[in-house]
Amino acid sequence: MLKEERFQYILRKLSEDQKVNLTTLSKALDVSSYTVRRDLKELTDKGLLQAVRGGAVPHSPTPHHFLDRLGYQQEQKRAIAAKAVSMVKDDQVIVLDSGTTALAIASMLPRELRITVVTNSFPVASVLESHPYIEVLFAGGRLYKSAFTTTGHDTIRFFRNIRADIYFMGICSIHHSIGVTTINYEEAEVKKSIVEVSKQVIALTPHERIDTAEAFIICPLEMVDTVITDDEGAAVARDLLAGTGITVL
């Protein structure tokens, strides 16, 4: 079988089953495990899947540029944001990062709420500028243009000097064995630093990002306290995260 034919088979099985297994592919394609592993690496390099230990999983289908994500799955984001807002109480320090779901949370915070929001997102800071009682702390740094957010050493140093009650973490992907991942190394480092200083880590994810993976690791599952998802994702997440101690809303 030609390499291109193997690629087509692998991608078709991945689309059908949402994961592929190294041993199963080796038998089905009648090639060695080494050949399959090489194929999965090449497909990963092309951005068509994410190779993991023993096989591969899909990439998250979410658009990467912030402007493309603004109009994407708006109903699901509002539902997730409403659940998140219900968890916020006066006098808390919360972190909202670069995700469009975090922006939805910022826009839904009640006018009478008195909290401190720490963010590295220009859109989040802009929305909260007119809020009468919310204090906003902005983490400066290098502009990550496609996300309208800051990254880099200065951003990380800023977050390491706070102690957050809640981190509402917008995520690209969450996988049962790999954990929480994203597409950008510097973004992963910023999110990792926020996880380390937060009492409670709440991952925000539409259903289609569940059990997918990207290249850069933010944190293992055990560092996540709660996953907030849409109605379609709740049952999937509960099955996926059963026995982990993570609450699914």
* Tokens 């972190």, residue located: 95
Model confidence over 106-164: pLDDT tens digits? 999 999 999 999 999 999 999 999 999 999 999 999 998 877 899 999 999 999 999 99
Q: How far apart are CA 147 and CA 123, in angstroms?
A: 10
Q: Which residues are within 8 A (CB) of 16 and not within 5 positions of it... i.e. 6 or more apart?
A: none
Q: How far apart are CA 206 and CA 190, in angstroms?
A: 22
The reported pTM is 0.74
* 109 lies in the same domain as 76: yes
Cβ(164)–Cβ(93) below 8 Å: yes
* 42 lies in the same domain as 75: no
Give SS3 for 218: strand
The CATH number of the domain holding residue 137 is 3.40.50.1360
Of 24, 40, 57, the domain-final residue: 57
Q: How far apart are CA 79 and CA 122, in angstroms?
A: 23
Of 28, 57, 86, the domain-final residue: 57
Q: How far apart are CA 179 and CA 212, in angstroms?
A: 9
What's the domain count of the chain?
A: 2
The boundaries of the domain holding residue 47 are: 3-57
Q: Which residue has the higher pLDDT, 25 or 114?
A: 114
* 148 lies in the same domain as 209: yes
